[in-house]
Homo-oligomer: A and B are copies of this chain.
């Protein structure tokens, strides 16, 4: 079968890889029908060797598809079922799963992302492939509701796997309430999904900070009430204050989590407010600095992290069915799997009009 593999910095290729197959009785094999390239996949493209990635590793942790085959111990799934994969493997039975922090599951591994040393039980290959082996399939996969299982709904469904649930996690972990002012830092897919989620959760002002006209236009389409393009912290603060009647943001979702974004977060968050850090820029040596004086005096909470996707899947699916949520616009660019390396290149170069690339088998 064909799959996208890592071979070193700036070198990913679609090539023949070993067929995905059942290895354990709790496995399933899923035929990928749509897979995403994530901003974090670009971190692998740029620095995968330093993270411990080995040449030949298949990448991709965002995919949806159709169950092809299930092991004898997989309950609740049959070949032909349309499914969303969680980004990471989960057993559904450990204390963390019971507390809905699936991203810290005892059986945690991340599809196609984590170097071998991070993986719980053998390397879990990525989803940017024709087929994917899914460990602990009964809990790692979510069956799509009938109404959303059509191929025409794929662009709505794929973002739920990661970017939409991540944006939602930012809002929920920050305790966002209806009527809140929300500032979203970053106009990438996660930022835009946070904008969209804030609107769906009945925010008052939803302000997106970014530097790309095309992406900020999508922010408007997804529910932003205002955008800020300045890179100057004082100017950012001034504009956000103006857009919020002098109040500032109850919730800041920082989809970048680097030095400048954290400064903007402190400058725009309201006393008693929360900053949800969802980005991974600190992996890339752009380390945020907490303004401790501000944190202390104004009781600022810093929260967020790696999304426990399944914690939010029921409410996300409900919101989609109810028509309050449709993150499809973040998937600007659909390519066949065979052109995946080109997709990485186009996302990496921030090509105008390309926010997020999705891949289809054909």
Interface residues of A (CB under 8 A from B): 96, 99, 101, 103-104, 173, 257, 271-272, 277, 280, 282-283, 287-288, 290, 292-293, 295-306, 308
Contacts and interface: CB of A to CB of B under 8 A. Distances in A.
A176 B298 CA distance: 20
A271 B95 CA distance: 11
A321 B59 CA distance: 61
Contact of A302 (B257, B280, B287, B301): B301
Interface of A, secondary structure class, is mixed
B287 A282 contact: no
Contact of A280 (B99, B296, B299): B296
Contacts of A298: 104, 305-306
B282 A292 contact: yes
A298 B307 CA distance: 10
Contacts of A283: 293
B290 A96 contact: no
28 contacts: A96-B271, A96-B272, A99-B272, A101-B271, A101-B299, A103-B299, A104-B272, A257-B292, A277-B296, A282-B293, A283-B293, A287-B292, A288-B290, A290-B290, A290-B302, A295-B305, A296-B306, A297-B305, A298-B305, A298-B306, A299-B303, A299-B304, A299-B305, A301-B301, A301-B302, A302-B302, A302-B303, A303-B303
Contacts of A280: 296
Contacts of A308: 299
B272 A101 contact: yes
A126 B288 CA distance: 37
Nearest to A302: B302
Contacts of A103: 297, 299
Given A283-B293, A298-B305, 9 more contacts: A99-B272, A104-B298, A173-B301, A277-B295, A288-B292, A290-B290, A295-B302, A299-B303, A299-B308
A258 B104 CA distance: 27
Contacts of A296: 257, 277, 280, 282, 304-306
B306 A299 contact: yes
Contacts of A173: 299, 301
Contacts of A287: 292
A270 to B, nearest CB: 9
